């Protein structure tokens, strides 16, 4: 017993800085959640501030803003789940089916690139392309006698633009995991199918897609666990005073009302609501994944 | 039937596959090319001419403006500093902890692993984290950026599983030769793990280079802002308000494009090196994270 601890001693020293990081920057904020049940007074500090029970939550659920935040979050997540989700699968199937390998590799290299640029750069490219006066797309429209589109400011374009940016940035990178699944398909299956007279369509339908089924279901479940995560930077950079009604989500609301306006207690409650719902989704997703015979995520 | 091309339906299939691949290639590439070529355009040509990809008149004025403006160079320098120091801190803390946790015989390992995992599915939220950093007087210092993200849990897990795959016998041999854990880590384990250490360094470096939100959250002092924040400020200035800045007025929208290119450039230059590593599948774990 004593010996095991002694043998481990240098390892505990190695773990210590990391452990401190987790305790101070990850777990101490979890303790800070008590703020959600207090009325924070910056002059007396977190511990001395008075308790208010569930008052902030009652205020939150009574707030019309709350339903707007929830609706926006669910709509954007829905777009991700149902319309973004197929994009990487399609890219992977296309890359797999292309028999000219140098061409497939070139496309693969290029479609990975946007994953590595920041959301600010994506926002920059978006502004340069879609600005109403000088944007490339609007210039093109104007040249051909069409009227200009207010893509960046008209709220009705926001959700489409959000989805398109997501697809543009992540479809290539997201394909990696599906490509990995396809790489393990035994090539003799295709050869046998050719012998049996199956054309390319039937090979795709009966070999390629079934090979992806397990990973597709698993990835979908994992995404389901991320319903509350719509990407803070992504949305914040696309947000402006004109599209706030459709673009405001929990994170951007907490940042605006909490950090900028100083309503610390109330926004801690908003953040806690989001984290708890998020946790519930992850747990449901994990249960589903296990039921499906996968290892789960934790 | 042409044997090489296959049946008619196979030809249609191929047309569809290659057509869609070319389409996705263009959708990804064209916006970059548009921004790239237009950044060499003059303001007058950009504003007066309709849509074009290649400018008639090529100029480096936009880049000249960026290089002559204090704000840009300062922000660029800040980002380099944040990326280099931040990544070094990440590496040291992550590798030490991952190595410690990779030993299956270590007492308390289960609890520690669970502690790491739990932070991936639950967090205290933005406000409590911000208040902790404020309490520690880290706001407006680079320590806020370095320490608040000192370990990315999924990278720690990648590194831990890598370390635990190093054969036990190798370590036993080193121990018999009288190595203690520290010597073992620095003389045997780390040299053996260099490829994965390079990989996680790149992952951390990309995170630091691209991070925008932590900077606006924790840094109020505009002298400390990284280039991502600078770029964002530049993009927000509408072209009419740019006219108030005497310098930017002369160059107009192409300055924005030059700034986009300059901000993305280091990553695009590193990209071929990164590719070598993520093709090996090490990066796949990051997709799940």
Whether B105 and A1 have beta carbons less than 8 Å apart is answered as no
If contacts are CB pairs under 8 Å, which of residues 45-104 in chain B contact chain A? 46-47, 50-51, 92-94, 96-97, 99-101, 103
Banded pLDDT at B2 (limits 50, 70, 90):
very low
For chain B, where are the alpha helices, taking DSSP H only? 8-38, 43-48, 61-68, 70-101, 109-121, 126-135, 142-148, 153-164, 168-176, 181-183, 190-192, 194-210, 213-218, 227-236, 239-242, 246-251, 253-278, 284-288
Which tokens go with B150?
């000192």
The HSE-up count of residue A69 (CA atoms within 13 Å, CB side) is 21
Q: In this predicted structure, what is the pLDDT of residue B280?
A: 54
Assign B208 to helix, strand or coil: helix
CB within 8 Å: A267 and B24 = no
Across A46-52, average pLDDT: 81
ipTM of the complex: 0.89
Both tokens of A223, joined, read: 């995404």
pLDDT on residue B286: 39
What's the whole-number average pLDDT of chain A? 90
Q: Could you tell me which of B136, B214, B88, B105 has the C-alpha nearest to residue A23?
A: B136
- Count of A–B CB contacts within 8 Å? 282
Q: End-to-end CA distance of chain A, in Å?
A: 29
DSSP-assigned letter for residue B141: S
Quote the CA–CA distance of A66 and B242 in Å, as a whole number. Answer: 37
Specify the pTM: 0.90
Give the pLDDT band (50/70/90) at residue B283.
Answer: very low
How far apart (Å, rounded) are the C-alpha atoms in residues B95 and A18?
A: 9
Q: pLDDT at residue B74 above 90?
A: yes
Cβ contact B96:A18 at 8 Å: yes
How much is the average pLDDT of B75-90?
Answer: 96
What value does the mean pLDDT of chain B take? 86
Q: Is the dihedral of CA A247, A251, A252, A258 positive or negative?
A: positive
Reported as a single tens digit per residue, the pLDDT across A62-72 is 988 899 999 99
Question: How do residues A174-199 score in pLDDT, each as one tens digit?
Answer: 998 899 889 888 889 988 998 888 88
Give chain A positions within 8 Å (CB) of B260: 121, 124-125, 128
CATH code for the part of the protein at A63-117+168-291: 1.10.3720.10
Task: Say if residues A169 and A116 touch (Cβ distance below 8 Å).
Answer: no
With CA atoms as reference, report the closest residue to B271 among B20, B32, B13. B32
Structure tokens, B219: 């840094």
Q: How confident is the model at residue B289 (pLDDT cuts 50, 70, 90)?
A: very low
CATH topology of domain B69-236: MetI-like fold (1.10.3720)
Banded model confidence at residue A257, pLDDT cuts 50, 70, 90: very high
Residue A225 has pLDDT above 60, yes or no: yes
B90: chain A residues, CB-CB within 8 Å: none
Q: In the numeric block, which tokens belong to residue B29?
A: 């590439």
| Partner A, chain B 155-194, Cβ-Cβ below 8 Å | 156, 180-182, 185
Q: What is the pLDDT of residue B272?
A: 79
The DSSP H or E segment spanning A36 is: none
pLDDT at residue A222, rounded to an integer = 84
pLDDT value, residue B241: 47
Give the whole-angstrom CA distance, residue B223 versus residue B248: 20
Whether B235 has a pLDDT exceeding 70, the answer reads yes
d(CA B64, CA B61): 5
CA atoms within 13 A on the CB side of B247: 15
β-pair partners for A39: A50
Are A36 and A269 within 8 A, CB to CB? Answer: yes
Q: Do B182 and B96 meet the contact criterion of CB atoms below 8 Å apart?
A: no
CB A138 within 8 A of CB A132: yes
How far is Cα A56 from Cα A39, in angstroms, rounded to an integer?
9
CA angle A108, A112, A114 (to 5 degrees): 140
B6 → closest Cβ in A8, A172, A199 = A199
Q: Provide, as residue numbers in chain A, all residues whose Cβ is less than 8 Å from the Cβ of B116.
A: 22
Contact between B146 and A53 (Cβ < 8 Å) = no
- Residues B206 and B267: beta-carbon distance below 8 Å: yes
CA-to-CA distance for B33 and B39, rounded, in angstroms? 10
How does DSSP classify residue B224? G
> Cβ contact (<8 Å) for A120 and B129?
no
Q: Is the dihedral of CA A290, A217, A80, A66 positive or negative?
A: negative
- Give the start-to-end residue ranges of the domains of chain A: 63-117+168-291
Nearest to B27 among A168, A200, A278 (CB): A168
Host H or E run for residue A247:
helix A244-247
Q: Assess contact for A211 and A122: CB atoms under 8 A.
A: no
Contact status, residue B89 vs residue B67, Cβ threshold 8 Å:
no
pLDDT band at B238 (very low <50, low <70, confident <90, very high): low
- In the prediction, which pLDDT does A1 show? 59
Contacts of residue A124, Cβ cutoff 8 Å, sequence gap at least 6: B35, B231, B235, B256, B257, B259, B260, B263
- Which position has the higher pLDDT, B31 or B167? B31
- pLDDT of residue B284 exceeding 60, the answer is no
Most confident of A9-13, A51-55, A88-92, B51-55: A88-92
Q: Answer for the pair A88, A166: CB distance below 8 angstroms, yes or no.
A: no
Residues of chain B in contact with residue A133, where contact means CB-CB under 8 angstroms, are: 239
Nearest-neighbour CA in chain A from B148: distance (Å): 6
Please say if the pLDDT value at position B159 is more than 70. yes
pLDDT tens-digit map of B109-126: 999 999 999 999 899 889
Q: Provide the β-strand partners of residue B288.
A: none
Asked if pLDDT for residue B1 goes beyond 50, the answer is: no
Q: What is the DSSP letter of B193?
A: T
The pLDDT tens digits of the residues spanning B189-199 come to 888 888 889 88
Confirm if B228 and B212 have CB atoms less than 8 A apart: yes
User: DSSP 3-state assignment of B126?
Assistant: helix
Q: Report the alpha-carbon distance of residue B206 to residue B225 in Å, rounded.
A: 17
Cβ contacts of A244 within 8 Å, gap of 6 or more: none
- The pLDDT score that the predictor gives to residue A218 is 86
């Amino acid at each position: 017993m004593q010996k095991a601890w002694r043998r481990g001693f240098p390892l505990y020293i190695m773990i210590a800085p990391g452990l401190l990081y987790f305790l101070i920057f990850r777990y101490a904020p979890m303790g800070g959640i008590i703020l959600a049940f207090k009325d924070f007074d910056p002059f007396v500090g977190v511990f001395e501030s008075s308790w208010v029970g569930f008052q902030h939550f009652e205020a939150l659920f009574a707030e019309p803003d709350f339903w707007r935040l929830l609706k926006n979050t669910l709509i954007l997540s829905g777009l991700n789940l149902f319309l973004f989700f197929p994009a990487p699968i399609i890219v992977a199937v296309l890359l797999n089916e292309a028999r000219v390998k140098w061409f497939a590799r070139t496309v693969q290299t290029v479609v990975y690139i946007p994953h590595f640029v920041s959301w600010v750069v994506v926002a920059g490219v978006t502004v340069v392309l879609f600005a109403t006066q000088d944007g490339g797309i609007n210039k093109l429209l104007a040249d051909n006698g069409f009227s200009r589109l207010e893509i960046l400011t008209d709220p009705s374009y926001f959700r489409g633009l959000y989805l398109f940016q997501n697809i543009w940035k992540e479809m290539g990178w997201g394909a990696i995991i599906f490509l990995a699944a396809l790489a393990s398909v035994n090539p003799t299956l295709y050869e046998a199918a050719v012998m049996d007279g199956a054309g390319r369509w039937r090979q795709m339908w009966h070999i390629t897609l079934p090979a992806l089924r397990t990973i597709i279901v698993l990835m979908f479940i994992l995404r389901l666990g991320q319903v509350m995560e719509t990407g803070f930077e992504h949305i914040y950079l696309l947000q402006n005073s004109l599209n706030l009604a459709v673009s405001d989500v929990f994170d951007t609301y907490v940042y605006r009302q909490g950090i900028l306006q100083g309503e610390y207690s109330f926004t801690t409650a908003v953040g806690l609501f989001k984290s708890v719902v998020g946790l519930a989704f992850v747990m449901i997703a994990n249960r589903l994944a296990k039921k499906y015979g996968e290892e789960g995520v934790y | 039937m042409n044997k090489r091309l296959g049946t008619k339906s196979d030809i249609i299939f191929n047309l569809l596959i290659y057509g869609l691949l070319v389409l996705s290639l263009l959708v990804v590439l064209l916006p970059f090319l548009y921004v790239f070529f237009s950044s060499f355009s003059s303001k007058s040509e950009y504003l007066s001419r309709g849509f074009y990809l290649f400018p008639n008149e090529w100029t480096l004025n936009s880049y000249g403006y960026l290089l002559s403006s204090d704000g840009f160079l300062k922000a660029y320098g800040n980002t380099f500093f944040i990326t280099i120091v931040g990544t070094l801190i990440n590496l040291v803390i992550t590798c030490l902890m991952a190595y410690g946790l990779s030993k299956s015989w270590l007492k308390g390992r289960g609890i520690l692993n669970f502690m790491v995992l739990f932070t991936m599915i639950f967090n205290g939220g933005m406000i409590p984290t911000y208040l902790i950093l404020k309490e520690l007087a880290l706001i407006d210092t680079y320590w806020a950026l370095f320490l608040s993200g000192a370990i990315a849990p999924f990278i720690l897990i990648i590194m831990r599983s890598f370390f635990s795959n190093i054969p036990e016998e190798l370590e036993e041999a080193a121990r018999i030769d009288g190595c203690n854990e520290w010597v073992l880590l620095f003389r045997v384990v780390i040299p053996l793990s260099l490829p994965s250490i390079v990989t996680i360094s790149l992952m951390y470096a990309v995170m630091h280079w691209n991070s925008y939100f932590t900077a606006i959250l924790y840094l109020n002092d505009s002298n400390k802002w990284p280039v991502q924040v600078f770029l964002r400020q530049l993009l927000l200035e509408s072209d009419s308000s740019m006219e108030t800045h005497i310098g930017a007025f002369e160059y107009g929208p192409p300055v924005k494009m030059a700034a986009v290119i300059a901000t993305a450039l280091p990553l695009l230059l590193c990209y071929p090196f990164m590719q070598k590593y993520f093709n090996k599948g090490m990066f796949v774990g990051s997709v799940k994270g």
